[in-house]
Amino acid sequence: MDKPPLRRLDEWRWEIAPAGAMRVPGIIYASEKLLAGLGSDEAPRQVANVACLPGIVRASLAMPDMHWGYGFPIGGVAAFDMDEGIVSPGGVGYDINCGCRLMTTHLGLAEIRGRLPDLVTALFQGIPSGVGSRGPLKLSGKEQLQLLREGAAWMVRKGFGDAADLEMTEDGGVMAGADPEQVSDRALARGKDQLGTLGSGNHFLEIEAVDEIFDPTAAAAFGLEIGQICVMIHSGSRGLGYQICDDYLARMVKHSDETGIPLPDRQLACARLASPRGKAYLSAMACAANYAWANRQLLMHRTREIFQKALRMGPRELSMRLLYDVCHNIAKVETLPVNGRDVRLCVHRKGATRAFGPGHAALPAAYRKAGQPVLIPGDMGTGSYVLTGTKRAYQETFGSACHGAGRVMSRAQAVKACRGRSIPRELAEKGIVVMASGRGTLLEEFPGAYKDLEAVVEVVHGAGIAKKAARLRSLGCIKG
């Protein structure tokens, strides 16, 4: 399929009208500026391709951070009917339940300003990062299987956190239906030693300060104040999730002719939700999701310990509290409104996060009036936004919003663009301390490789699918 034509619906939305094998329209959330910046990116064509899949409901969606991905665009959202619909590993992604976790503290800028380099160094030395890094926790085979079923709750049960952490984690940090029997020995082996590791690429741990508050009521509900020190963790299911995706993609591609589903792109290989293969993937994916939640729980626990030791503070004085953990790269069965009635759907969010509005029963009681915290980090020189989910998102986007700024350069292009530059020095001139396992990561992840975070958030806010609550600026960052 050639690059599809776009028709403007309003200031923030563009439509790809159904054509050829498309069963529903494509809807892209973007401003003119962001759309112009796509250039030759294939993401709009991928939006149209997803619209060809059986059982898709209402529309194939793309958030303003969208860019080319495997099969589905990154930033893609699609919901499928449970009877006729499909599940596609390409619609979830390789890093299953890659997600963000934001913690608040009782610290202010003045309390860490002179100690920031030492604090970043302590975090970099204490939290394993980079390709192939190994974590501090060694699991027996039995313990690993328990963790895959229980998720973050297993970590809390072992003393790495407390019940309050689970309350502030999406779905309590566990996805039902996880079955380790559906996970290959290769995936289990890859995940065995990686708990408590950050990973590489765009994964990070960042110290941030609350810089601006847009919605005082929501900010108060979330416990955010101007000048407050926060920590954002971005990581996922590591090698275990990658291998699960790889295993099931290979299986679905091999058997794609048996399904009778015509595919505009073999990367959209899938299985019917009701089929044994579809059910097996969902059970394995749930294991990876639970592993990712457990991983972020352990990363947070280690971060608390490192802050306390580096700053010589007790737990109460530091008071590092989980504001929220939200996942992206997931397929979840949720009950959502379609044509005036509630319907069970399998929602694929690839590079997109849940954004449920006020009053939703899935939210912690403390947040039900404000709405779900939506975490949108930018690049390592920009900071992050905290927004609130809306009832409009529940009606329009299957309760979804974007997950970050989104790349505008490939990693190879970014390295080329940085030739002769010192990214750590450039960031230091802005008051940001950054450390990484390798120079290559900083070149691949330099700020210019990503879209303008302000422009991305403005679309989400303007379209009403999430509303700005607070902005956080970067102070220090560690990467793999």
Interacting residues of 455 by C-beta distance below 8 A, sequence separation 6+: 31, 33, 34, 64
- For the chain, residues with pLDDT lower than 50 are none
Answer yes or no: is 1 within a domain.
no
Answer yes or no: is 151 within a domain.
yes
Q: What is the pLDDT of residues 86-115, one digit of tens each?
A: 999 999 999 999 999 999 999 999 999 899
20-38 in b/e form (b: 16+ CB < 10 A) is eebebbbbbbbbeebeebb
Residue type, 401: A
Answer yes or no: is 142 within a domain.
yes
**Packing angle, helices 116-126 and 276-311, rounded to 10:** 140
Could you write out the DSSP letters of every residue in 287-339? Answer: HHHHHHHHHHHHHHHHHHHHHHHHHT--HHHH--EEEEEEE-SEEEEEEEEET
d(CA 460, CA 50): 22
What is the end-to-end Cα distance of the chain in Å, rounded? 37
Query: What's the number of domains the chain is made of?
Result: 1
Q: What is the pLDDT of residue 480?
A: 76
Answer yes or no: is 467 within a domain.
yes
Residue 307, CA atoms < 13 Å, CB-side half-sphere: 27
Cα distances (Å, whole numbers) of residue 233 to 207, 258, 294: 9, 41, 13
Q: What is the pLDDT of residue 472?
A: 98
Residue type, 163: A
Answer yes or no: is 331 within a domain.
yes
d(CA 477, CA 115): 14
Catalytic (active site) residue 106? no
Q: What is the pLDDT of residue 113?
A: 86
Answer yes or no: is 150 within a domain.
yes
CATH code of the domain covering residue 274:
3.90.1860.10
Closest CA to 34 of 450, 332, 411, 368: 450
Joined tokens for residue 36: 């112009």
Q: What is the pLDDT of residue 55?
A: 98
d(CA 364, CA 287): 23
Q: Tokens 């006020």 appear where?
A: 358
Out of 234, 301, 348, 403, pick the active-site residue: 403
Q: What is the pLDDT of residues 128-150, one digit of tens each?
A: 988 778 888 989 999 999 999 99
Q: Give bridge partners of residue 103 from the DSSP assignment.
A: 231, 322
456-476 in b/e form (b: 16+ CB < 10 A) is bbbbbbebebbbbbbbbbbbb
Closest CA to 295 of 125, 127, 436: 127
d(CA 162, CA 397): 33
Answer yes or no: is 19 within a domain.
yes
Q: What is the pLDDT of residue 381?
A: 79
Answer yes or no: is 419 within a domain.
yes
- CB 99, CB 199: distance < 8 Å: no
Range of the structural domain that residue 105 is part of: 7-479
